[in-house]
Structure 1
Amino acid sequence: MTIELEYSSSLNGASNLLFELKQVVKLQRMGLSAQEIRSKVVDENVFQFENKGRITRTLPSVMRRAKAIDPTLASLMTEGSIEMGKVINLYAIMKTDLLFYEFMDEVISEKFQNNDYLIEKRDINLFFTNKSEQSEKVAGWSDINIEKLKRAFMQVLFESGLLKDRRGKELDRLIIDEQIKDHLIRIGDARYVRAMGE
């Protein structure tokens, strides 16, 4: 399923959300509809957030990601290892966030191809400068919004295991389970495997 994406800064309020995505995927696998999942997540505080407002802010992103995961990946995510879950979550983020996918494809994947394991501030700054020149939408975002997005991108890298240290600059290759890799290639999503550095 191809989702036509525009550039968005939604990653600001919803960076990694692996636990939350797993909860929604479990509910989907139980046969609940999108509406039933929304109600259950809010009414029963399935995400275990102290702030109810945060649920309504993050739920749309989590629902979008869950929709991007097919039954095979859903089963690997809920029954596989935490590492498998991290890879599938990263895939779902890329699949639903064009800007983050391009960051992975143009910056992270390229670094791995060149055996360059350092992500510098200038790499991220250059990426956003280029996108501002290519897109009126990105050019219209405030500096504060872009700074938050840069932090959100780094947070996703760290949480998914691509960044060794939360504050560091050293990248680490993901070990992508063969089942996930083969499945993504089979369904025509090899570009996401490449973007993860394979």
Structure 2
Amino acid sequence: MPYHFFPMISRMRYINRWGLMRNTRLENIQEHSHQVAVLAHALAVIENRYFGGQTDPGAAAVAALYHDASEILTGDMPTPIKYDNPDIQSAYKDVEAVAERKLLSMLPPDLRGDFEEAVTIPDPHIRALVKAADKLSAYLKCVEELKAGNTEFKKAKEQTYAALCQNPVPALRYFMDHFLEGFELTLDELN
């Protein structure tokens, strides 16, 4: 019997983000998930090194790779809509859970347990790191768009930065203090 989990996962590249915004460069959930994985891995490493953490950076990275997988089936719901109303937010969480179960059902039964944690992220600490990395990725998208002259992202950058500053993950604050400024630079300035 053929299973379709991996062909479906490969379709992440067809789901674009920031659908309500004019973009100078489209971003899909596959490339976004890669960036979130790099950032979640970094946050776990920073947490372990500087804040006494015990998080497996690989587990954080893998969870981040799959954190938006349900959007293959649901599409990307814009943040202002998803979080505008508690009823919408709750209903969307239910829709995401159904989509996650549907994706997992596309694996052989004996492999489903091996992928369930990556797709559903039940560990609250890993989930918090992935959420912080996800918000950081959104901020970096805003920086990229503004660098390209797209002022459409000005308010989103301000709101996202404010949300980052309120996030209690200490590794996120460390990342922001030590690495964030570099994303504002040009290639020549980075060298």
Greater share of helix: 2
- After TM superposition, is the score higher than 0.5? no
Q: TM-score, normalised by structure 1?
A: 0.28
